[in-house]
Amino acid sequence: MGTETFLEFEKPIAELEGKIKELRHLADNGEVDIGSEVARLQNRTEQMLQETYSNLSPWQKTQVARHLDRPHFSHYVAALIEGFTPLAGDRLFGDDRAIQGGPGRFRGRSVMVIGHEKGIGTDGRIAHNFGMAHPEGYRKAVRLMHMAEHFQLPILTLVDTQGAYPGVGAEQRGQAEAIARAIEALLEVKVPVVCVVVGEGGSGGAVALAVGNRILMLEHSIYSVISPEGCAAILWRSGDKAREAAEALKLTAQDLFKMRVIDRIISEPTGGAQRHPQEMVRRVGAAIEAAFAELDNEGSDYRASRRQKFLEMGRVGLA
């Protein structure tokens, strides 16, 4: 299994896996023959994962979407993008490592890849500010969007952020304006835009990179106007109503698909992307390829069709 970090609702699974480990340890010491017992327990674990993960509540999905072992921007790019060259800086103030971006080749196609990077390990997470961008991040993204437009590179974005960073410097330097400009730039470009919400789609900081011709979401990712905790604090006036808020907000990929806000759900391996990151990256790659191929066939005015998509959003298919 690909993760050592178990979520609260995964306790029974953790216990089973603990038992398997224990048995293996005993077997290594030659004390017992455990072959059939381990197989039985492994089956049971797999079954339990299958059951648990096909019935995740919105709040459980929120935790899965935030799981530290889920593949990040850097994993996807390493496996899917040849010659990816991250470009730095907004040319105004600084470089923001919470948002990464640059040109590269995706299956024979030159693309501009832009996404949030939450960072790996404690040092990595601090260096990337946990994927919470400052204005510089969004302004770098805008610069890269314009570059993509100039050189006619399709844009691929990977969305994974709790939200834009709430800080003094971020406000001073125009967090709101920076986000608004990124949205505007994605509405302006004539090249095709494919967006994938790979983990957490947190509010304005996420939508800034998620205005595309195709918007895909991983099966257990979330995308919301506000975090369940934030919503609970405001509307219930209590942070511990996050579970209720998560239900009410309808923030799962399945909910968004029903509301026609997203185009496709990419299924996750049993037990979530965090258990099988390589398989997840493979599936995401296939989904991106399919999305670009679809757009090739549509092949005309990507800007007009993107605008039309957003104009119609909420007008079609809602009760």
Q: Which is nearer to other proteins, 28 or 311 (CB)?
A: 311
The DSSP result for 190-230, as a single string, is -S-EEEEEEEEEEHHHHHTT---SEEEEETT-EEESS-HHH
CA 81 to chain centre: 17
The residue from 255, 279, 289, 294 that contacts other proteins (CB under 8 A) is: 255
* Site for other proteins contains 311 (CB under 8 A): yes
Contacts of 108 (CB under 8 A, 6+ apart): none
For residue 172, the minimal CB distance to other proteins (Å) is 5
The DSSP result for 38-94, as a single string, is HHHHHHHHHHHHHHHHHS--HHHHHHHHT-TTS--HHHHHHHH-BT-------SSS-
183: three-class secondary structure by DSSP: helix
For residue 80, the minimal CB distance to other proteins (Å) is 26
The residue from 223, 269, 288, 295 that contacts other proteins (CB under 8 A) is: 223
- Mark residue 135 as left, alpha or beta (left: phi above 0; alpha: psi -120 to 50; beta: remaining): alpha
For residue 243, the minimal CB distance to other proteins (Å) is 13
* Site for other proteins contains 187 (CB under 8 A): yes
Pairing of strands 214-218, 193-202: parallel
User: Which one of 5-13, 24-32, 153-161, 224-232 is the stretch in contact with other proteins (CB under 8 A)?
Assistant: 224-232
Task: Give phi and psi for 108, each to the nearest 5.
Answer: 85, 0
The residue from 149, 188, 229, 289 that contacts other proteins (CB under 8 A) is: 188
Q: Which amino acid is at 110?
A: S
Pairing of strands 99-106, 109-116: antiparallel
The residue from 45, 221, 224, 274 that contacts other proteins (CB under 8 A) is: 224
* Site for other proteins contains 217 (CB under 8 A): no
* Site for other proteins contains 300 (CB under 8 A): no
Contacts of 14 (CB under 8 A, 6+ apart): 6
For residue 223, the minimal CB distance to other proteins (Å) is 6
Q: Which is nearer to other proteins, 151 or 310 (CB)?
A: 310
Give the whole-angstrom CA distance, residue 198 versus residue 132: 15
* Site for other proteins contains 225 (CB under 8 A): yes
The residue from 55, 168, 297, 300 that contacts other proteins (CB under 8 A) is: 168
User: Which one of 31-39, 114-122, 285-293, 303-311 is the stretch in contact with other proteins (CB under 8 A)?
Assistant: 303-311
The mark string for 79-108 relative to other proteins (x by CB under 8 A, - otherwise) is ------------------------------
- By the 8 A CB rule, do 194 and 210 touch? no
User: Which one of 35-43, 99-107, 255-263, 287-295 is the stretch in contact with other proteins (CB under 8 A)?
Assistant: 255-263
* Site for other proteins contains 308 (CB under 8 A): yes
- By the 8 A CB rule, do 112 and 103 touch? yes
**Within positions 106 to 125, which residues make up the interface with other proteins, using CB under 8 A?**
none
Q: Which residues bind other proteins (CB under 8 A)?
A: 164, 166-168, 170-177, 179-181, 183-184, 186-188, 203-204, 207-208, 211, 223-226, 230-231, 234-236, 244-245, 248-251, 255-256, 259, 261, 307-308, 310-315, 318-319
